């Protein structure tokens, strides 16, 4: 089988798997439950609306992902008659997230939804929440030592293996299955990004024409340009770079522009306006893999409803992975984020179509 046929076959396999049973398992080997399977009966919704339940969202950072998730959660909670009393942004600082959590607890919520930045310090921060009897639903990460069904209702997250495999296939496609590539991975104890990054590397091993010549860890998302610049200096013939999420990828594309490397391909996870604009303009961004953060937000609201009713909820719930390129950007942006494209991106698409 030739190289071209091989990488096309790999792409087809991943495309088909996006419609199949989720691939990923939870941090303790939990079987995945598709997000569409998390449902509330009409009687459940009526029971929730009879009480003045209060929820808070303790988030990790601000981004297009966070904004869409929060919007989905607000909509989901409103449909259940649950008021949202606080939304916080920790700026990827675990200590600030702990302070945010203490501030939120003063508002006496019945339910907290959180994307925990650090599972080790988070275990300490969330113990008083558990002790107070506040219901918990986690996004993507769970504090160490907390037990499903006793301490928290469940986790809602990406199908991270599908995302990693899809990113690898998009990267391989962008360089026609041949060339030297570099992988930037998240150098922190962060379950979902760790699994996504590992899945990219593992999937690339299926391509005999691709050689991973550099792997570099990143802990501060602002360091993407510095790390990518160093990689490009050391490997001037590099064909592509994988970045673990959108803000890091912005730094990678900036480094490529500074180095005059218009030919370098970049693939990343999660939708962001800057990367979308670069893609439409024919820049370095070759492909983006996204989950469905708006659907994730609505799912955590339903999970929270189950928890407030003391109903069992799935331990590990995943949303679909979707591939995004310049041809389907408009459709996938709306599907993932449930809002219109940024004006600059929409105008770039219109100009491209007019040529």
Tell me, what DSSP letter sits at residue 24? -
pLDDT digits 0-9 by tens, 331-352? 999 999 999 999 999 999 999 8
pLDDT digits 0-9 by tens, 226-274? 999 999 999 999 999 999 999 999 999 999 999 999 999 999 999 999 9
pLDDT digits 0-9 by tens, 34-66? 999 999 999 999 999 999 999 999 999 998 999
User: In the chain, pLDDT over 90 holds for what percent of residues?
Assistant: 88
Handedness of CA 108, 113, 117, 121 (dihedral sign): positive
Residue 17 scores a pLDDT above 60: no
What CA–CA distance (Å, rounded) separates 302 from 46? 13
Residues in the chain: 355
Residue 328 scores a pLDDT above 60: yes
Residue 18 scores a pLDDT above 80: no
CB atoms within 10 A of CB 153: 26
Q: No. of H helices and E strands in the chain?
A: 13, 13
Average pLDDT over residues 16-36: 77
Average pLDDT over residues 20-40: 89
Tokens of 274: 């800057």
Residue 209 scores a pLDDT above 50: yes
Residue 23 scores a pLDDT above 90: no
What domains are there in the chain, each with its CATH number? 3-20+160-290+325-354 (3.40.50.2300), 33-158+292-319 (3.40.50.2300)
What CA–CA distance (Å, rounded) separates 71 from 342? 16
User: Beta strand 285-290 with 322-324: parallel, antiparallel or unpaired?
Assistant: antiparallel
Are the C-beta atoms of residues 161 and 192 closer than 8 Å to each other? no
Burial 202-229 (b: 16+ CB within 10 A, else e): ebbebbeebeebbebebeebeebbebbb
Q: What is the pTM of this model?
A: 0.88
List all residues 6 or more positions away from 324 whose beta carbon is below 8 Å from its beta carbon: 271, 276, 287, 288, 289, 290, 332, 333, 336
Output the DSSP codes for 52-95.
--EEEEEES--SHHHHHHHHHHHHHHHHTT-EEEEEEE-TT-HH
Average pLDDT over residues 60-80: 96
Residue 170 scores a pLDDT above 90: yes
What CA–CA distance (Å, rounded) separates 330 from 17? 22
Tell me, what DSSP letter sits at residue 152? B
Across the strands, what pairs with 262? Answer: none
Are the C-beta atoms of residues 290 and 332 closer than 8 Å to each other? yes
State the pLDDT confidence band at 20, using cuts at 50, 70 and 90. Answer: low
List all residues 6 or more positions away from 289 whose beta carbon is below 8 Å from its beta carbon: 163, 166, 167, 170, 267, 268, 269, 270, 321, 322, 323, 324
Tokens of 349: 């698409």
User: 45 burial class (0-12, 13-18, 19+ CB within 10 angstroms)?
Assistant: middle
Are the C-beta atoms of residues 155 and 28 closer than 8 Å to each other? no
User: In the chain, pLDDT over 70 holds for what percent of residues?
Assistant: 94
End-to-end CA distance of the chain: 38
């Amino acid at each position: 089988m030739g190289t071209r046929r091989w990488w096309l076959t790999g792409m087809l396999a991943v495309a088909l798997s996006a419609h199949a049973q989720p691939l990923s398992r939870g941090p303790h080997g939990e079987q995945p439950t598709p997000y569409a399977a998390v449902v509330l009966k009409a009687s459940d919704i009526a029971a929730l609306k009879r009480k003045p339940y209060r929820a808070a969202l303790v988030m990790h950072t601000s981004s297009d992902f966070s904004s869409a998730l929060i919007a989905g959660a607000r909509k989901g909670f409103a449909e259940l008659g649950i008021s949202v009393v606080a939304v916080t942004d920790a700026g990827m600082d675990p200590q600030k997230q702990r302070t945010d959590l203490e501030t939120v607890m003063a508002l006496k919520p019945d339910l907290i939804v959180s994307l925990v930045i650090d599972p080790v310090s988070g275990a300490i921060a969330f113990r008083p929440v558990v002790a107070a009897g506040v219901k918990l639903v986690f996004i993507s990460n769970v504090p160490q030592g907390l037990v499903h069904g006793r301490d928290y209702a469940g986790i809602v997250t990406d199908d991270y293996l599908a995302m990693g495999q899809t990113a690898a296939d998009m990267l391989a496609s962008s360089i026609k299955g041949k060339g030297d590539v570099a992988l930037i991975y998240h150098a922190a104890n962060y379950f979902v990004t760790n699994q996504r990054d590992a899945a990219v590397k593992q999937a690339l091993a299926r391509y005999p024409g691709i050689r991973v010549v550099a792997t570099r860890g990143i802990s501060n998302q602002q360091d993407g340009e510095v790390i990518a610049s160093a990689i490009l200096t050391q490997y001037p013939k590099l064909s592509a770079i994988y970045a673990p999420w959108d803000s890091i990828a912005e730094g990678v594309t900036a480094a490529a522009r500074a180095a005059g490397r218009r030919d370098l391909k970049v693939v990343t996870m999660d939708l962001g306006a800057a990367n979308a604009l670069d893609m439409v303009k024919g820049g370095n961004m070759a492909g983006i893999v996204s989950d469905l953060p708006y659907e994730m937000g609505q799912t955590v609201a339903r999970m929270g409803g189950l928890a407030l009713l003391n109903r069992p909820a799935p331990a590990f719930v995943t949303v679909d992975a979707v591939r995004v390129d310049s041809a389907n950007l408009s459709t996938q942006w709306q599907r993932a984020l449930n809002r219109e494209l940024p004006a600059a991106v929409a105008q770039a698409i219109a100009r491209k179509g007019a040529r």
